[in-house]
A and B are shown apart, each in its own frame.
Chain A
Amino acid sequence: MRPRDDLPSGMQPFPRRTGPGDSLLLTAADTDRLLARHGAHAEAPAVQHAIAGLLDIAAGPPTDQELAGEVAAVATFVLGTTQRATRSARARRGRVIAAGIAASAVVAFSGAAAANALPAPIQELAHTTFSAPAPRPAAPQPTATPPAGQPAPMPGPSSTSQHAKAKAPATKAPKAKAPADKASAAKATPKAAARAKAKGKAGPPGH
């Protein structure tokens, strides 16, 4: 049991209840007024004044203890802000680098397309997309003169590919070049020459 003077300071003493529930009458407007901390009307029951006093004390000025953590809170905020700034700077740098790489790639591609230096299918695509020059027609197949004492190369797959080359669009050109490349490779090393020779002999069926 604690004495009456233990009531929170500032709280109004109020009379004992006179009628059952009379002093506890609170309208919705009273409730809103008290909760908004506008105080009780002068003619309001004493209990409303007591509630208003209680809420005023509960919402009273801050104590030193309540504000003791300010330095730590601000330090945490500064640390968080610095980290956030570092992260966003890093992300920004990454975006700039990615944009630079993309721009360089676009410039290089456009340059190559303008110089007609792309492989034929890609050049064709560039031609149709942004009116880069059309791909060059494939260079005519160099006629390989067979070495002396050897039979002329039999018309085999190479002749059909020649035929196809004549019919096929320009995009097929690199494939048609393959036999000529093979022949030049065969010339380059003796082993490859022998392999090419054997191939030439075994080539057409019935010979």
Chain B
Amino acid sequence: MRAAARGDETAFARLWRDNQPQLLRYLRVVTGESAEDVASEVWLEVCRRLGKFRGGESEFRCWLFTTARRRVIDLRRYASRHPVLLTGDPRELDRRAPDDTADAALERMSADAALDLIARLPREQAEIIMLRAIAGLDATQVARIVGKRPGTVRVAAHRGLRTLASMLFAASDEGVTR
């Protein structure tokens, strides 16, 4: 962490590899299609301010997701002022690259299905579950990020898991996942 803050390229690469997947998944659940763009902006800001960062990896992750959340809020504000009309089929626009292997597609499909299920929760519950279970932050850190009390975060996470369980039951009852 200290090496990355001093400008060590290899240390930064490791930091990026350790955190980028979780960041992308969190952003996928809370922003959907814009996840990669927002993640790029988040890393750009991290690059700018990493030299002044003091703390360990846990503090860094907390800072990273705080930055990401701020970007998400900015994006929502922007989106509410500038609604976008899609002119094509979003599935077609988001089609996979031709070099994807079938295994990789299957692997991603599994993770995608799980993330899609979490994304169907109420926004706050989905966000808290992602920050706790995927980003690996504790209730106090999540509370700091979302600006709520740890108790509120625990209750929201509990409700989120119960809702997730209900959704799984519903899927089981209907025999479908979506």
Contacts and interface: CB of A to CB of B under 8 A. Distances in A.
Given A14-B172, A24-B169, A63-B107, 4 more contacts: A8-B177, A36-B133, A50-B168, A55-B133
Contacts of B43: 73, 76
Contact of A26 (B48, B117, B134, B158): B158
Interface string B93-109: 00000001000101111
Interface string B152-170: 0010011001101110110
A81 B20 CA distance: 20
B40 interface: yes
B114 interface: yes
Interface in B116-130: 117-118, 129-130
Interface residues of A, number: 51
B111 A67 contact: no
Contacts of A66: 20-21, 24-25
B27 to A, nearest CB: 11
Given A24-B169, A51-B165, A65 B17 contact: no
A23 interface: yes
Nearest to B164: A51
Interface in B25-72: 25, 36, 39-40, 43-44, 47-48, 50-51
A68 to B, nearest CB: 9
A58 B133 CA distance: 9
Contacts of B110: 8-10, 57, 60
A54 B117 contact: yes
A35 B129 contact: yes
Contacts of B88: none
A85 interface: yes
B1 to A, nearest CB: 14
Nearest to B108: A63
- Could you say which interface size class chain B belongs to? 35 or more
Max chain B CB contacts within 10 Å: which of A16, A23, A59? A59
Contacts of A73: 12-13, 16, 20, 40, 43, 47
A31 B47 contact: no
Nearest to B25: A58
Q: Nearest 5 A-B pairs (CB), nearest first?
A: A62-B21, A58-B114, A81-B7, A80-B47, A57-B114
B176 interface: yes
A54 B168 contact: yes
Interface string A63-85: 11111011001101110110011
B178 interface: yes
A2 to B, nearest CB: 5
